[in-house]
Every structure is written in C-alpha cells, then in structure tokens.
Amino acid sequence: MKKYFLLLSLFLCSCQQITQQFKALDTQNTKPETNIATSNLSNIALPNNQEIFSNKNLPTIKSDQKKVQVALLLPFSGKNKDLGFSLFNCATISLFYNDPNGIIELVLFDSKDTAIDTEKAFKEIIDRKIKIVIGPVFTSSVEAIEKLARQNKITVISLSNNQNLINKIDKEGGVFVSGILPENQVDKIVNYAISQGKLNFAVIAPSNQYGKTITDLLKRFVRSKQGNFITSEFYDNNSKDLDRIVERTINAFVLPENLTKGKKNKDLVINDYDRIYPQVIMIPESGKIASKIISLIKKQNTNERDFQILGTSQWDDKSIFDSNLINAWFPAPENEKFSDLENYYYSKFEKFPPRIASITYDMVGLIAELTNRKQGQIPVVSDFINFKNGYQGVDGLFRFLPNGLVQRNLAILKISVSNKAGNWFETIEKANDSFVDYNKN
C-alpha cells in the first residue's frame, strides 16, 4: 500500500507540474512550441480553464463524481523505470486532449522488472476491482497475468507485439495485444518492395527469437507472393563474423527453376546472367549494428549491384538515425502525428519519448471514446471488438480483432536527409484509410 501511495504522489506531482507549465502559457497568452492542439493529433482546442488536471484524480475532485478507473501497469521502478514514466507522461497528455469531460481516472501500479512482480501488482488491481488495464510492456509479464485477467473479467491492453499471445481473450476478459505486430510489418514491406519490381530477397538477422521470427515471416510472404528468397544469415551478439556474413549474402544466388529442373549439377552450365542475386536485404536490427552491416554491404559491393535495404518499425526512432541508413525503407505508422506529439512532449519534459509511448496515448484516447459512447459506463471486451471502423490515433487507424490482436494500417517510410522540420522520415506509401469488414472475409 505504501508503494501505491508513493506512485500516486508522483502522479499528482507530475500533473501539478504540467498544470503549472500550461498556466504559464495561458498567462503569457502563448501557445505551445509545437501546436499539438491544432494539429491533426486532435480536434480539441486548448481549454481556457487553467486547472487542467483539477478533475484528474486530484484532491479537488467531487466525492460524488463517478470515474472510470483505468490501471496503468507499467515499470515505475527498476531498470525500465524511465520507460514506464515516459509511457505514463503520454497517458496524462492523452487525458488532457482526449478526455475533456474528466470521466477517466488513471491509477498507477508498478510492474517492476519481473513477471512475478507484475503478477503481484495485478492482484492489487483485482482487489481494487479495476476492470481496464493498460500494460504491461513485456511478453513474460503478459503471460503471467492473462489467465487472471480472464478469470476476473478484466480487459488488459498489453503493449506487447508478440503474436503468440493470440486468443488470450474471451467475451468477458483477457489480453489484447496492441504493439505493432511483426507479421503486419513484414507483409506490408514485402508487398511494397514487390510492387516496385524488387523480387529477390535476403535477410541478415540477429541470432535471437526476434531475428528468427522476422526471417521465417519474410520467407513465407516472399514465397506466397511469387518472389525469390535467396538466403538468410544470422549473427550472434559479438558480431565478429559480420564481414564474412555480408560477403556471403551479397554473393548468394539461386538459379531459375527452368534451368535446373531435371538436371544434375554436373550437367549444368551456369552463366553469370543466369544467377538470381538479392535485390533486397532486410536487416531486422537497429542502432550501431544495422549501420555497420549497411556500411559493409557498401564496402563489399564491388560489382556495384543495386541493393535496397529494408528495416522494421524499430527504425522509427530519431535516436537511431545514421547516414548509412539513408534511402532505406521500413514499415511503420505514418510519422506526422507522432512527430507533433514527440515535439510537444519535448517542450514539456526536455527529452523525446520512446516510440512505444504513442500506444499509451492512443489507448487512453480509445478508452475515453468508448466510455463517452457508453455514457460513462466501463467499456468491456465486446466494446473494443465491435469498434470495427477503428480508432484514428497518433499511430493512425487501428482496431482490435476478436482473437485479441491489433490490426493497424501501416505506411512505408523512407529514411532521408533531415528537412527543415528535423524530420528524417519520408512517407513513400501512405497507410490505407479504412478497414475491410472481417466478418465478410
């Protein structure tokens, strides 16, 4: 209980700090540095009332005013506490813009760093009879609470992107998966690359579960769309063999089926023009290792073949920008709205939020929308699933499917030289602006 009150005091302190910042803006009759209120992020204008958070779980709240309590189950201590507080900050900003009637109350619970600690915190949520939870972040923590969620009829909107959490939900409770799923990403980027005449794919991936998942998905989607999967290479954490791995990848080839069908190797006469080399190399990695791999590709490409580099939504992060990544493509939500949120966040907290923070912003917005539609009643699982036209958030249009997975319409972004606005990401294919009715598929 002491831990809960500590977190609540931190919450109140944070709210009061933001209130003071907005008071200063109102007193100076100025607008925020990036005008988030008049951007596409929200149609809601800045309220005139200076006490912005007076109805957001502060002591001034009227005792007879019914609130819909939403638990934030995030790491507020331990090695991931900075991430937890960044997610919390974006949730409070979302309250300001998306809950003007003050019907939602955020209640903080510390998931810490382990699945055991997350389970303990979740049992506190059960004891408090809270029926909607945003979080936890990590798959192991989600796995620790998914049965409890169903047993206690609690709707959990996890921040995980692990598709193995499919069907952890029923009509009364369970877990939604709101992260950007690897399958959606790979499907989108393969479709786009093939539409641009890039038919021959290779991958250089880390030797971990994520790298293997992306590689398996790439093989499946490329082959299902009549492309050619040339080769896959994996590297370990020390990345000592990257030179040889890159050399093998760019020189790998397959032969046309009509050339090899029914023939033994000794009977084959192979000309260089018969060889099908990679046109596309996917690198599901971010940061320095991705930059090093691309640098080695450029260095070892002595035959001057044209390689298109592909990444994943991991690259949708200003902090990983590197000149080696220029002209690479990756699938992600369109960036304009998040850029507004990002710059606004910086003006308040003097640092940029992690890219995942947009999810807490959007989930608070969605819950506020559903609660308003239900005239203050707590949304249940069926309300989220029946919102079939989707919710337009910072990350674009999304909706939840009956199996618990999120469906997102992703764009294709290209990394380019920074423009005057400091944006390194150019949208080269926009996201679809609607969904197909899944009941008719």
User: In 3D, which of 226, 228, 201, 349 has the Cα closest to residue 284?
Assistant: 201
Look at residue 65 in the predicted model and tell me its pLDDT.
Answer: 53
pLDDT at 356: 93
Q: Which residues of the chain have pLDDT under 50?
A: 1-64, 420-421, 440-441
Q: Where are the domains of the chain?
A: 2-179+336-408, 182-332
- Output the six-digit token pair for 204: 């250089």
Query: CA-to-CA distance for 134 and 91, rounded, in angstroms?
Result: 10
Provide CATH code, domain 2-179+336-408: 3.40.50.2300
Q: Give me the phi and psi of 225, to 5 degrees please.
A: -105, 20
The answer to pTM > 0.85 is no
Common-topology check for domains 2-179+336-408 and 182-332 = yes
- The CATH superfamily assigned to 182-332 is Response regulator (3.40.50.2300)
DSSP 308-327: EEE--GGG--GGG--GGGTT
Provide the sign of the torsion angle of the four alpha carbons 21, 22, 28, 32, taken in this order: positive
Q: pLDDT at position 240, please?
A: 76
What is the 8-class DSSP label of residue 208? Answer: S
DSSP classification of residue 353: P
DSSP 3-state of 428: strand
> What pLDDT score does 78 carry?
94
At residue 70, the 3 state secondary structure works out as strand
Q: What are 234's strand-pairing partners?
A: 205
Q: How far is CA 382 from CA 93, 155, 173, 174, 435, in A?
A: 27, 10, 9, 11, 18
Phi and psi, residue 69, nearest 5°: -80, 130
CB 183 within 8 A of CB 213: no
Q: For 253, how many CA atoms within 13 A lie in the half-sphere containing its CB?
A: 12
Return the beta strands (E) in 296-381 as ranges: 308-310, 329-332
